[in-house]
Amino acid sequence: MTTRLTAAAEGCSGCRVCQLVCALTHVQENNVKKAAIGIRGYFPAPGRYEVEVCDQCGQCATVCPEEAIVLQDGAWTIDSDRCSGCGVCVDSCPRGVIFRHPDRAVPVKCDACGECVPFCSRGVLAIQKEGDT
């Protein structure tokens, strides 16, 4: 069963609370640039934000030379002990949602933990388990 974070196509206000919760949960820092969720603004036209999240396709796992990206609890996660930081996964991600930060040796990607979901005041985010009815 695959678990993934989903984002409604519209509705994001760009508040970045989801990114803040992600960074606090995973790296214990108040720094949205260390989040595993992307937010892109499209301004001035069409004048909206879009949340970019991993769809758990697994492409990163197939290209990782260290086999450091493993399926855990239904989501692809990066094992920081095995990751060499080469960035092949970042370059191969079809959605561009594996991120690097200069302070971190290991890239970050969404592990579908869902910690951000209850903090999204606009209900944009949800956890979906493939096979749910």
pLDDT per residue, tens digit, the chain (133 aa), is: 899 999 997 899 999 999 999 999 999 999 999 999 999 999 998 999 999 999 999 999 999 999 999 999 999 999 999 999 999 999 999 999 999 999 999 999 999 999 999 999 999 999 999 875 4
Residue 132's pLDDT is what? Answer: 55
Phi-psi region of 62 (alpha: psi -120 to 50; beta: other; left: phi over 0): alpha
Q: Which domains does the chain have, with CATH numbers?
A: 3-129 (3.30.70.20)
**Are 35 and 22 contacting, i.e. CB atoms less than 8 angstroms apart?**
yes
Residue 133's pLDDT is what? Answer: 45
- In the block, tokens 């869902």 appear at 114
